[in-house]
Structure 1
């Protein structure tokens, strides 16, 4: 797993190569390695800061999908690891030093979400939210929302969204939805003006495009999940108008199943629903041993919003050939789901008798093809998981 180190003899020898060769070599490195090399010499830093290099690097790596995992042994010992699909390996991001100016020693942090170069953490100690830009090494505390300070258990991954500004800008918008006095309210923090504002969501009055027909100008916040119905807020980014959708789910009509949302402890729970971006992933399991609480994965389905947003529409089921590769026993399981550019990405993180496992699967809506992304060992032994999220658009500027 990649890490940040003091410049070695090899690093210094690398600096003696011709600039053109150094540039060609650096283009093949992922962003955490580039950040480390910027610290080696001024010559390397100048090459990396060159506009042509930045443009070429972002063109090569900007579309890469990252899976980030925040893990800790104790409050003062936590790390952020990221797996890049284009590099096929885990990288360690140096985050402790960046966070020091904004947090107290031993502060209890939880990783909420990420997008582009921005990472969002919740402090359970101060009940505040912190944003970190690991490329510019900047950290910012977000002022409390109109609902006041919130602990980590108040945040639900599927009910929030981090939207970065244009490339080269440190600005962002952070959306989250809550039910306030029986009204659906969307809260938005805008970093450019350092203020919150709130909007009451309205009932849908138009026709929503299907999941495979959207152009990426909608974000979806899942507020309430029930066995047969959900409440989802759709927000068109160019108008900032939140609309309430109530998709119904009839997929369990004739089944006598136990359902959980977001996190499963095993036992008798045989349906785990994971939500994100107007999508739903249904994870099925069977009891491997009725007395132990250990379960075995038996199937995965993808569902999306129907044409008018009033029902869940079946998309596809993971084929048996892929299912056979990922079927493993588990005691507890959680997951996250993201849809972007016609690709649905789902990750399932499970623990069985102290052993952690991560499954990453993708579905291409246009080609109707499934893909399993094998992951190397994430080095979770003896550590606790403190947040997991997908991200893309990680760039040098």
Structure 2
């Protein structure tokens, strides 16, 4: 994928200096273990963007250099990794896929006044923990509050109003359960059944039987991939053909592959569907396939959101003309990006401000559908709408 011409023009018009000291950017994510699919795909998106940016001069002739830390999806290891990145004096960090890790590391970056751009983790509390004007925490993924509201709107339009909510017992499940029940309440709907699914649970058929006895006509799951797959497998074993819907983890390989066919027909909120629905996305997909020698992106949303986050950070840095890359200066630059970035997920015009650290708004979401073990558009109108990349509302 060619670097956007506007970025190249900005770099060269600045009179790129002779190659200088690298600009260190931290990356933190789960590159080992059960969440590695998400973390590695995120990292690939970041690397792809950095290679393109460095090819046209980096930051005023200084190459971007990644300082990569594996958090293993473990909050304590993530905490240690975040402290290492701060000690390494990175100008900003891109990362966090696990909400439990996120709730640990946001304190580190906030206290150190080092911006953190989150392209994967969606827990609503991550960007509400600190007052917006003082917050150094930014995000290019769709927070669960808008995902929950979006998917609730969709299922109620389909007439599925007897909702059984299954949430795992992680920080992700806690926050998702809160957002889901709140979204339902705003529509005047109360779940007919609520279940908490233990991490690594292998059998939830007893809870599913209770949900069926409550006459649920849809399961709204807020669980990471393996636990969501356990729910799908239980439905399949029971022969209960109720639909399963949820947030973006229902697009993960460990859900789709782990459910052994039970995931077919599942619906989920997505910011990006890996189909060449417009020129930008077609170029992104073909470049990713060539660069990483794979025909299928394991977690397309993670790659696309991380790619866009890297460019947004670079656009912010290019607004700093005096070379002052201190944390508060970079924060201010992120809040005042003046150039429009024509990204893969969205067209970003003033994505952040002192009052708003979320780049994604609900109008950017589409409903994804698992079909033949891949994710496609659930609604023809979403596919048509995606011919044009959405802007924030």
Structures share a fold, TM > 0.5? no
TM-score, scaled to structure 1: 0.29
Which structure has more relative contact order (CA 8 Å, sep 6+)? It is: 2
Larger Rg: 1
TM-score, scaled to structure 2: 0.30
